Amino acid sequence: MAYVSLQFVIFTAAVTAIYFLFPVRKYQWTVLLAADYFFYLYSGYKYAIFIIFTTATIYLAGKAIGRSQETEKETLKLKKAEWGREEKKAFKAGVKRRQRTVLALALIANFGILIFLKYSNFIAGGLNQLISPGTGSGPIPMLKLFLPLGISFYTFQAAGYLIDVYNATIAPEKNFFKFALFISFFPQIVQGPISSFGQLGSQLFAEHRPEFARFKAGLELILWGYFKKMIIADRAVIAINTVTADYAKYSGTVILATALLYALQLYADFSAGIDISRGIAQMLGIDMVQNFRRPYFATSINDYWRRWHISLGTWMKNYIFYPVAMSKLFLGWSKKMKASSFGKTAAGAYVAKVLPTAFSSMIVFLVVGLWHGANAKYVAFGIWNGGIIMLSILLKPVFDRLCEALRIRTESFAWRVFRILRTFVIVLIGYYFDIAPGFRGALDMMRRSITDLHLRGGISLMRGLGLGKSDWAILAFGALTIFVTSVIGEKHGYEFPGEMLEKRSFALRWMVLFASMVLVAVWGIYGPGYDPAEFVYMQF
Amino acid sequence: MKKIIIKRCVKIASLLIAVVLFLAFLQRYILTNVSDNTIRLRGFYQEEPNTLDVIVLGASEVYSDFSADELYKKTGVTSYPYSFAANPVTLWKYELREILERQTPKLLIVELNGAQYGKDMLYNSAAFRYLTQDMKLLPEKKEIIDTYGTDSKLSYYFPILKYHSEWHRGKNLRNGYSMLVQDMRGYSLLKGSYSHMARKEVPEELKDYDRTATRDLNPEAEKYFREFLDECKASGIENVLFVRFPHLVTDKKGVDALKRNNRAGEIAAEYGYEYLDMDAFCGEAGIERPEDFHNTDHLMMSGQMKFTDYLADYLVRKYDLKPTDLSPEQKEKWDESVRWMDACFAYYQDYMKDPVFNREYTVYERSDVMARVKKYLDPQ
């Protein structure tokens, strides 16, 4: 069931109505669970086994760890007087080891499925390349595999829950069905955001009454989402697909314009999906985490990743970055470097201090790259982003001194604009890996974007990309709308344009909403003859 | 509290209603399949019930070759071309039901071109859309959509789903505006007429072929035709005349079409209906070949007038048609329409002083064309 379909609108309206009319409010959450599984089975019943497996294994593992933690507490309480410090320590270590084993087994099983379904052909291809280089085939057969809907998202969310239980930051959920709801919540199953149990769980199971303010805000958010998806993203993707299908046919100007268009399309598409998800949840009385905060206004690549796909960034930070950076191995390296002669110098001391952070960032972005897809270009995408962050961490003192030497006023508006543009260029380079057919293709596209710029020819070529003049005008209008609302949002801290209207007159709000609905209906890409693109992040 | 809830509900409902009404307006006039065909069919539904004595059913030959205003001017008999481009025999039985739902014609004329279509034309999706757009008989509309609808069936009921991206097309805007003007006026001026103002170059007519020869219809076409004939019988309509309007036969395709038309005529005769190949009367009607033809299948406006005049005489003689009994208001509207048709013809004659060949230029109830015609309007 596509988000951009009448079925989905009817489904959502029906679920909302049943949810609030459900006679026993205590069990309201069961409506959501039923809706989740209806949505999932309707979208592809053969996938259901995987989500059920993840739900069951993570639930059981969480319960086992939780029980172990309880037993540990009770035993320590009972043996408080009896055991000495060493005995307690040994007991705790034993319990932790057992818990770690359960955690590891559950994570291996679930990430194993994800890796098998998503990456086995990538790994097989790589191995074949090693065994028989240049032949394009090899002894390891390629498998015909399908990717269950939302597998990356729900696997990460479930893993996060289990790690939180293991770290005792949350108590394990006792009710299997409530846990199943947390894993399968329909507005987020397709493309996130990846929520933590602590943030989302209690809201899902709480009793909710319909609230006008939530309904209004939720519907406005959904409308904004459809505006971005149907008017901008699904229109831009037509030109992007035309060029990327055979980029060699086009001039560097067109390729550069396509990369810029992709930046617009990707943001419009992904943030639209999240807005629709969050809007639905909001109507149901549930607040989901923010996933975007005007990412193209980021002043550094670090900042960008704090604004783009925030929930994935948070997940990576909590469950990969910190554990890796604080691991004995990395801290050991840091210590060793500090102790070395290089570590005694000012530069060496700095490098030794930030080394775990820098390397952890690289590892995180390699994972982020792979998370996006099983392809060398995504690995390159990860290395590019990780490498830039690593360098920016390691060379921070150099850059600071350079700014001082050049007497740059780092608080000035011009410097901020420069940093925004610089970050955008870095991000844009990363996008070439997304749109190119492969790693080499990405490099070639970049090269041509610089060396093959013909403004006049380029502009005329833009006419043959599957979009008419009116489409380009609409895209320009859409981009301008996003830009203006983002500037205002950035200045006043608004999350989405609906908030800007909050204190405006009824007539103005009414007019804006009226115009938005009409524009979506008239300018939106939908209906027979069109094949509206799936949300980009659904494939991940 | 209750008051606040009611107030909020009223606000939301008013916003949604406003959006729906505005979109419905756009769907009616712009975001839809809007063309001369839809304007013509809309005009049919604007005629007062039971005021049309003659209905002419068929495809593009009907509205290109026949003028209801001219027939009225000549005989005082009201008529209307219930026709649209490539109207296939597949739909005729539904069209008859739709006609009889609103009118009680004394005579139904059926131009047979749509009966000789091959399979592709029998299931031409554009035709299904033209017909169903304004159809009043909902069960029939549903049956057509369910049986023949090709893409999203919902889009037949809500054309905006299919045509929402057509908003910027000048043709749509012009036709939509024309439809709006016609709707606001409440009746059609040119009564669906579509008059060609430019000729296309056509090959010379064939000479040695048998005008009375026949050839089998497509089996599916024959099935639909017989269903239509059964429907005619069952409807109890007084007079039904099957005709072939004037054509230039210039190639084998044209000969085949003629043969299949003749075969359809034979089948109509089996049911006791008369069939006329009107080509035979072109000489008597004063239609010059090829000067009065736009292309092989359609007449120029001059031909349209000559042909309608001839047909008017024939129908009055044959069916003893008397001027339609109209109220003074209705009569005034028809007289106004005749003045407009005269103005169109004057415009045509002026235009033809310096004719442009091989161009599609037609006069139909389109606002910009009507604005040009207006200066030829008799001030009386």
pLDDT of residue A127: 75
pLDDT of residue B82: 97
Rounded CA separation A259/A269 (Å): 15
Q: Give domain status of residue B318, yes or no.
A: yes
pLDDT of residue A539: 53
SS3 content of chain B, % helix, strand, coil (to 5): 55, 10, 35
Burial per residue of B334-348, b for 16 or more beta-carbon CB atoms within 10 angstroms, e otherwise: beebbbbbbbbbebb
A523 vs chain B: nearest CA distance in angstroms?
A: 6
In 3D space, the residue among B330, B363, B365, B370 whose CA is nearest the CA of residue B349 turns out to be B363
Q: Give domain status of residue B201, yes or no.
A: yes
Q: Strands of B107-111's sheet, edge to edge?
A: B79-83, B54-58, B107-111, B239-244, B274-277
pLDDT of residue A356: 86
Q: List, for residues B44-59, the tens digit of each pLDDT value.
A: 999 999 999 999 999 9
pLDDT of residue A135: 66
In 3D space, the residue among A302, A174, A261 whose CA is nearest the CA of residue A467 turns out to be A261
pLDDT of residue A387: 92
Which of B27, B164, B171, B172 is most worth mutating to test chain A (most A CB atoms within 10 A of its CB)? B164
Structure confidence at residue A276 as a pLDDT band (50, 70, 90) = very high
Can you tell me the mean pLDDT for A438-444? 89
- Torsion A2-A7-A10-A15 (CA) sign: negative
Can you tell me the mean pLDDT for A50-69? 95
- Cβ A514–B15 below 8 Å, yes or no? yes
Structure confidence at residue A129 as a pLDDT band (50, 70, 90) = confident
Enter the ipTM: 0.82
pLDDT of residue A530: 63
pLDDT of residue B12: 85
pLDDT of residue A536: 56
Q: Position B201: which residue type? A: E
Can you tell me the mean pLDDT for A24-29? 90
Task: Please determine, for residue A203, whether its predicted confidence score (pLDDT) is greater than 80.
Answer: yes
Can you tell me the mean pLDDT for A272-287? 94
Cis check: omega of the bond before A193, within 30 degrees of 0:
yes
Q: Which residues pair with A454 in a beta bridge?
A: none
pLDDT of residue A224: 95
Inter-residue contact B88 to B58 (CB < 8 Å)? no
- Encoding tokens for residue A295? 């990412």
Q: Could you tell me the end-to-end alpha-carbon distance of chain A, in angstroms, rounded to an integer?
A: 17
Task: Find the CB nearest A528 among B5, B31, B161.
Answer: B161
- Cβ B22–A470 below 8 Å, yes or no? no
Residue numbers in A near B18 (CB within 8 A)? 514
Helix (H, G, I), strand (E, B) or coil at A174: coil
Looking at A340-490, which runs of residues are DSSP E strands? none
Helix (H), strand (E) at residue B79: strand B79-83
Residue numbers in B near A526 (CB within 8 A)? 161, 164
Q: Residue A410: exposed, middle, or buried by beta-carbon count in 10 A (0-12, 13-18, 19+)?
A: exposed
pLDDT of residue A493: 84
Residue numbers in B near A501 (CB within 8 A)? none
B125 vs chain A: nearest CA distance in angstroms?
A: 13
- Cβ B8–A212 below 8 Å, yes or no? yes
In 3D space, the residue among B252, B16, B199, B88 whose CA is nearest the CA of residue A514 turns out to be B16
Looking at B245-287, which runs of residues are DSSP E strands? 274-277
Helix (H, G, I), strand (E, B) or coil at B55: strand
Rounded CA separation A302/A385 (Å): 9
Which of B8, B165, B167, B169 is most worth mutating to test chain A (most A CB atoms within 10 A of its CB)? B165
Q: Phi and psi of B91, rounded to 5°?
A: -100, -5
- Residue found under tokens 């894993």: A183
User: A267-281, A431-445, B290-304 — which is least confidently predicted?
Assistant: A431-445
CATH code of B323's domain:
3.40.50.1110
pLDDT of residue A345: 84
Q: Give domain status of residue B153, yes or no.
A: no
Residue with the bigger pLDDT between B238 and A321: it is A321
pLDDT of residue B10: 87
Mean per-residue pLDDT of chain A: 89
Inter-residue contact B290 to B243 (CB < 8 Å)? no
Rounded CA separation B218/A425 (Å): 64
User: A263-277, A458-472, B366-380 — which is least confidently predicted?
Assistant: A458-472
Distances (CA, A) of A348 to A44, A339, A394, B151: 55, 10, 10, 69
Task: Please determine, for residue A462, whether its predicted confidence score (pLDDT) is greater than 80.
Answer: no
- Residue found under tokens 């040119």: B190
- Cβ A528–B168 below 8 Å, yes or no? no
Residue with the bigger pLDDT between A440 and B109: it is B109
Query: Is the CB of residue B15 less than 8 Å away from at least one CB of chain A?
Result: yes
Cis check: omega of the bond before B81, within 30 degrees of 0:
no
- Encoding tokens for residue B157? 């009921």
Rounded CA separation B74/B68 (Å): 10
- Encoding tokens for residue B79? 């008529």
Q: Which residues pair with B82 in a beta bridge?
A: B57
Inter-residue contact A207 to A305 (CB < 8 Å)? no
Torsion, Cα B355 B356 B357 B361, to 10 degrees, reads -110
Can you tell me the mean pLDDT for A341-364? 86
Residue in A closest to B14 by C-alpha: A510
Task: Please determine, for residue A465, whether its predicted confidence score (pLDDT) is greater than 60.
Answer: yes
Q: Could you tell me the end-to-end alpha-carbon distance of chain B, in angstroms, rounded to an integer?
A: 65
pLDDT of residue A144: 76
Q: List, for residues B309-330, the tens digit of each pLDDT value.
A: 999 999 999 999 999 999 999 9
Q: Give domain status of residue B261, yes or no.
A: yes
Query: Is the CB of residue A531 less than 8 Å away from at least one CB of chain B?
Result: no
pLDDT of residue B71: 97
Can you tell me the mean pLDDT for A141-162? 87
Inter-residue contact A525 to A230 (CB < 8 Å)? yes
Inter-residue contact A385 to A301 (CB < 8 Å)? yes
pLDDT of residue A2: 80
B152 vs chain A: nearest CA distance in angstroms?
A: 6
Alpha helices in A232-300 (DSSP H): 234-245, 252-283
Query: Is the CB of residue A139 less than 8 Å away from at least one CB of chain B?
Result: no
Number of domains in chain B: 1
pLDDT of residue B356: 76
Task: Please determine, for residue A473, whether its predicted confidence score (pLDDT) is greater than 80.
Answer: yes
- Please count the helices (runs of H) and the strands (runs of E) in chain A: 25, 0
Residue in A closest to B22 by C-alpha: A518
- Cβ B18–A514 below 8 Å, yes or no? yes
Torsion, Cα B279 B282 B287 B290, to 10 degrees, reads 40
Structure confidence at residue A458 as a pLDDT band (50, 70, 90) = low
In 3D space, the residue among A473, A13, A5, A492 whose CA is nearest the CA of residue A210 turns out to be A13
Strands B54-58, B79-83: pairing kind = parallel
For residue B270, the enclosing domain spans 40-120+188-374
Q: List, for residues A409-432, the tens digit of each pLDDT value.
A: 888 999 999 999 999 999 999 899
Task: Please determine, for residue A126, whether its predicted confidence score (pLDDT) is greater than 80.
Answer: no
Distances (CA, A) of A450 to A255, A436, A443, A447: 10, 16, 11, 5
- Torsion B332-B71-B96-B121 (CA) sign: negative
- Encoding tokens for residue A87? 């005995």
Can you tell me the mean pLDDT for A91-112? 94
- Cβ B168–A470 below 8 Å, yes or no? yes
Residue in B closest to A470 by C-alpha: B168
- Torsion B197-B203-B204-B209 (CA) sign: negative
Query: Is the CB of residue B8 less than 8 Å away from at least one CB of chain A?
Result: yes
pLDDT of residue A351: 84
Reduce the secondary structure of B135-159 to three states and give it as a string: CCCHHHHHHHHHHHCCCCCHHHHCC
Inter-residue contact B205 to B290 (CB < 8 Å)? yes
Q: Which DSSP symbol is given to A247? A: G
Task: Give one DSSP letter per residue of A392-405, joined into a string.
Answer: HHHTHHHHHHHHHH
Strands B54-58, B107-111: pairing kind = parallel
- Residue found under tokens 């994800």: A114
pLDDT of residue A534: 55
pLDDT of residue A10: 93
Q: Which residues pair with B243 in a beta bridge?
A: B111, B276
Q: Which residues pair with B300 in a beta bridge?
A: B196
User: A50-59, A209-218, B187-196, B311-320 — which is least confidently predicted?
Assistant: A209-218
For each of chain B's 380 residues, which pLDDT tens digit applies? 678 888 888 888 899 999 999 999 999 998 888 899 999 999 999 999 999 999 999 999 999 999 999 999 999 999 999 999 999 999 999 999 999 999 999 999 999 999 999 999 999 989 999 999 989 999 999 999 999 888 788 899 999 999 898 888 888 889 999 999 999 999 999 999 999 999 898 899 998 889 899 999 999 999 999 999 999 999 989 899 999 999 999 999 999 999 999 999 999 999 999 999 998 889 999 999 899 999 999 999 999 999 999 999 999 999 999 999 999 999 999 999 999 999 999 999 999 888 777 677 889 999 989 999 999 987 65
Which of A7, A9, A211, A522 is most worth mutating to test chain B (most B CB atoms within 10 A of its CB)? A522
Task: Give one DSSP letter per residue of A12-69, joined into a string.
Answer: HHHHHHHHHH-S-GGGHHHHHHHHHHHHHHHHHGGGHHHHHHHHHHHHHHHHHHHHHH
